[in-house]
Amino acid sequence: MMPTLVSLNPKAAQFTSKSLKMLIGGQWVDAISGKRREIRNPADGTVITTAPDAGREDVNQAVIQARKAFEGSWSKVKPNERAKLILKLADLIEENAEEFAHLDTLDYGQPLTLTSNFAAAAADNFRYYAGWATKITGETHTSSVPGEIFNYTRREPLGVCGGIVPWNAPLMNAVMKISAPLAVGNTVVIKPSEETPISLLRLGELIQEAGFPDGVVNIVTGDGPTAGDALASHPDVDKIAFTGSTAVGRKIIENSAVNIKKVTLELGGKSAHVIFSDADYETALKNAANAVFWNSGQVCFAGSRLFVERGIYDNFVSDLAEYASKYKLGNGFDETTVIGPLISAKQQERVLHYMDIGQREGAEMLTGGKALESELQNGYFVKPTVMANVNSDMTIAREEIFGPVVSAIPFDSEEEVIRLANQTEYGLGGGICTTNLKKAHKVAHAMKTGNVWINTYNITEPNSPFGGYKQSGLGRENGAASIDAYTEVKNVWVDLN
């Protein structure tokens, strides 16, 4: 039986029915080449709309406009006025929250409950950084130089900030690259994933409605190797904030050398989730599932390596497989859906390929694989998958799969699990389930990762720093960390003698 779907919000329907354009210098424009790219609905493979496919010159024009705004109109806007504009934008997002949720569900397939949360989080994020606009301070330093010397610092904006983001939470990923830079007086050129440009382009309309001067935020749509590369290697872009794969992160660093751009990177992960046998069993089961299947596992900090203490391993993985098999997969517009599709046919193939590799290397698939139901056939669905009998050397325990696949590994002691958890080139997330408080903190301190969740998972907030150790990233986003990342410190010495 075909599911009943929530009908598409009329404003979302209207927005996707028009010819989408890029926002450059306050104008809605096509790519100079006239090229466009199809945007597909991952739930059924149909084409939703098309978007401009920017070339290098389009990106160059966006940077020119961002520079003009930075040195001109935006530099005259006082911090309290910046705060007001950002707060107004947050209000507009809230007023249009349903439309944003629908646009993201249409574009990347996840259920409306999830995309509605992201729309609310987007407004929250802007409000948090609006508060910072009027709280940027410097310091005065005592001097021991003979005579009277006055020494103080100022925090100044960097200039033109580039943002490049992936498809796994289209609106929210983009907002994190816009809110903090605007609060401290920078201008922005941002590129969404070529798979999911829709909600960011709609945000562009609200940015104009809120009253930001032209060129303060510019949105270019296009692919990574052309538009992304043009932004990352542009000599007049002062900073790049990138979220995406570690492989592309490496290229961003290489490209930043052209003008020693400031760089922050939020990259891939292979996070360890450690279940001790003294954990509250039901909580641990729910956490283990939620940590890796939420957003169809397309989460940089997904708890994809599940370490379970040997005494409970067999029961736990079999209960997890049963739990996973009960998730309702489907179109995100079906209110009963919990797990949506993966973003593309390519990603679906990649994830299924990892399952094959895992089985060939000796792992056992307890549940999961390709979704075979007829109503899911045209979409890019993969069932929540539990792989058992995995060891840390297997490919599926080492490489990021970015899908709903968990590799369950047994362990015998606290020392062993700390060693295994840290035996990875990544260091983004980590989870611990135990009722022993001392053990929880000890293991949390020993994990070489930027984020650890104890008896919970997946929580992030705008006021709390987020980022990765090792090859999971460079720098931190959110909280005061983003203020540091989007400002320069100027040291001023004055001779008062």
Annotated catalytic, 266? yes
Q: Considering the rule CB under 6 A, would residue 58 count as an interface residue with ligand NAD? A: no
Q: With binding defined as CB under 6 A, does residue 224 bind ligand NAD?
A: yes
Nearer to ligand NAD by Cβ, of 42 and 244: the residue is 244
**Least Å from the CB of residue 255 to ligand NAD:** 7
- Select 77 or 103, whichever has its Cβ closest to ligand NAD: 103
Considering the rule CB under 6 A, would residue 223 count as an interface residue with ligand NAD? yes
From 161, 195, 300, 433, the catalytic residue = 300
221 part of the interface to ligand NAD, by CB under 6 A: no
- Choose, by CB under 6 A, the member of 194, 238, 319, 334 that binds ligand NAD: 194
Is 207 among the residues that bind ligand NAD (CB under 6 A)? no
Give the shortest CB-206-to-ligand NAD separation in angstroms.
Answer: 21
Nearer to ligand NAD, 109 or 410 (CB): 109
Residue 213: C-alpha distances to residues 75, 124, 302, 308, 469 (Å): 10, 22, 39, 54, 37
Number of residues that bind ligand NAD (CB under 6 A): 29
Q: Please state the closest distance from residue 402 (CB atom) to ligand NAD, in A.
A: 5
The CB-of-444 to ligand NAD minimum distance in angstroms stands at 19
Residue ranges in 261-280 that form contacts with ligand NAD under rule CB under 6 A:
266-269
Q: Could you give the CA distance from residue 345 to residue 470 in angstroms, rounded to a whole number?
A: 30
208, amino acid identity: Q
> Is the Cβ of residue 237 or residue 312 nearer to ligand NAD in the bound state?
237
**Positions 272 through 331 that interact with ligand NAD (CB under 6 A):** 300
Q: Between residues 434 and 482, which has the closer beta carbon with respect to ligand NAD?
A: 482
Nearer to ligand NAD, 248 or 483 (CB): 248
- Of the pair 60, 96, the CB lying nearest ligand NAD is at 60
Q: By rule CB under 6 A, what string of x and - marks binding of each residue 458-487 to ligand NAD?
A: ----------x----x--------------
Residue type, 442: K
With contact defined as beta carbons under 8 Å apart, do 111 and 105 qualify?
yes
Among 83, 114, 160, 165, binds ligand NAD (CB under 6 A): 165
Stretch that binds ligand NAD, among 11-19, 80-88, 218-226, 390-398 (CB under 6 A): 218-226
For ligand NAD, the binding residue among 42, 163, 244, 341 (CB under 6 A) is: 244
Q: d(Cα 416, Cα 8) in Å, to the nearest integer?
A: 51
284/428 with CB nearer ligand NAD: 428
Window 384-413: residues binding ligand NAD (CB under 6 A): 400, 402
Using CB atoms within 10 Å of the CB of residue 362, give its burial: 0 to 12 exposed, 13 to 18 middle, 19+ buried: exposed
Annotated active-site residue 335? The verdict is: no
Determine the residue with CB nearest ligand NAD: 224
Q: Is 166 in the site for ligand NAD (CB under 6 A)?
A: yes
Report the residue from 127, 177, 191, 305 that binds ligand NAD according to the rule CB under 6 A.
191
User: From the candidates 266, 309, 400, 477, which is the catalytic residue?
Assistant: 266
- Residues with catalytic roles: 266, 300
Give the footprint of ligand NAD on this chain (CB under 6 A).
164-168, 191, 193-194, 223-225, 228-229, 232, 243-245, 248, 251, 266-269, 300, 400, 402, 428, 468, 473
